[in-house]
């Protein structure tokens, strides 16, 4: 992961090498040659995705977005791309976020599931009817919503949602109930780190996960970034609002093309590409 850009771009190589120094371990070594088990470590996965995404964006001198957004962890990459966060501070926050989320998962064993083929309102109503903690966590695109909650709650919700007409209800191989109230211990830990970090005036608006609205005001950006851990990722709504405000081309930075696929399902009329 990321080895191609590391070898082809001197500016990207500098960021990769810098990341190893900042984190105090050989992140790039694990990214390039580590085992699947090593790459799944909490302290590796989130910083690795952040590093790859930022390196792709910052190593392209023509990259000058009019607006930015990121899905969950990607919001930190977006804030580096629009110059609200430095690379160094963004990487440190992502590392602290990963460890805080791992801690929250250990306190409250929990999980997530993808629900395919149901309207959002139906999923929301079923989740709200349960006694267990289960909430809508990721509004990925129309007909694809991820729910998050206690292990027992997700099991019950999957049965009820299939009965309500879901085409599929797929438990996900994740460490915990991200973007749910069960991440409260992580939110408290991350809040202190964010409040202690210097943010700069962004070069363009960031459409944030919590409310899907554009923001350039630093206190609002920080508040929403903190709330993100226990709130749903409103990706569908973010893309819809970006299109409403003039976005015609979406460029995905980082590994894979998952977001390009989601964007095309949300707004078939726009152009999508990788950087």
Active site residue 72: yes
Smallest CA-to-CA distance from 90 within 100, 106, 76 is with 76
**How far is it, in rounded angstroms, from Cα 52 to Cα 87?**
12
Active site residue 179: yes
How far is C-alpha 182 from the chain's CA centre? 17
Exactly one of 52, 59, 71, 179 is catalytic; name it. 179
> What does R_g of the chain's alpha carbons equal in angstroms?
18
The region that residue 100 occupies, defined by phi over 0 for left and psi between -120 and 50 for alpha, beta otherwise, is alpha
**How far is it, in rounded angstroms, from Cα 169 to Cα 118?**
10
Whether 58 contacts 77, CB under 8 Å: no
Dihedral angle sign, alpha carbons of residues 144, 150, 154, 157:
negative
Exactly one of 9, 72, 86, 103 is catalytic; name it. 72
Q: Supply the residues annotated as catalytic.
A: 72, 179
């Amino acid at each position: 992961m990321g080895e191609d850009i590391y070898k082809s771009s001197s500016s990207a190589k500098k960021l990769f090498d810098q990341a190893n120094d900042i984190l105090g371990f050989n992140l790039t070594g694990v990214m390039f040659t580590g085992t699947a088990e090593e790459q799944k470590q909490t302290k590796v996965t989130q910083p690795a995705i952040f590093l790859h995404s930022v390196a792709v964006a910052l190593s392209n001198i023509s990259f000058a977005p009019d607006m930015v957004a990121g899905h969950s962890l990607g919001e930190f990459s977006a804030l580096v791309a629009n110059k609200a966060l430095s690379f160094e501070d963004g990487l440190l926050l992502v590392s602290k976020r990963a460890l805080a989320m791992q801690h929250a998962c250990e306190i409250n064993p929990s999980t997530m599931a993808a629900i395919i083929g149901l309207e959002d309102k139906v999923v929301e109503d079923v989740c709200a009817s349960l006694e267990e903690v289960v909430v809508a966590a990721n509004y990925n695109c129309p007909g694809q919503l991820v729910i998050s909650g206690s292990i027992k709650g997700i099991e019950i919700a999957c049965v009820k949602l299939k009965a309500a007409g879901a085409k599929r209800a797929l438990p996900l191989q994740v460490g915990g109930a991200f973007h749910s109230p069960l991440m409260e211990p992580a939110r408290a830990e991350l809040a202190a780190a964010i409040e202690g970090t210097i943010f700069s005036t962004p070069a363009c608006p960031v459409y944030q996960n919590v409310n899907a609205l554009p923001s350039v005001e630093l206190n609002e950006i920080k508040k929403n970034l903190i709330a993100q851990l226990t709130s749903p990722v409103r990706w569908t709504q973010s893309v819809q609002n970006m299109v409403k405000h003039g976005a015609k081309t979406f460029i995905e930075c980082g590994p894979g093309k998952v977001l390009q696929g989601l964007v095309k399902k949300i707004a078939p009329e726009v152009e999508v590409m990788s950087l």
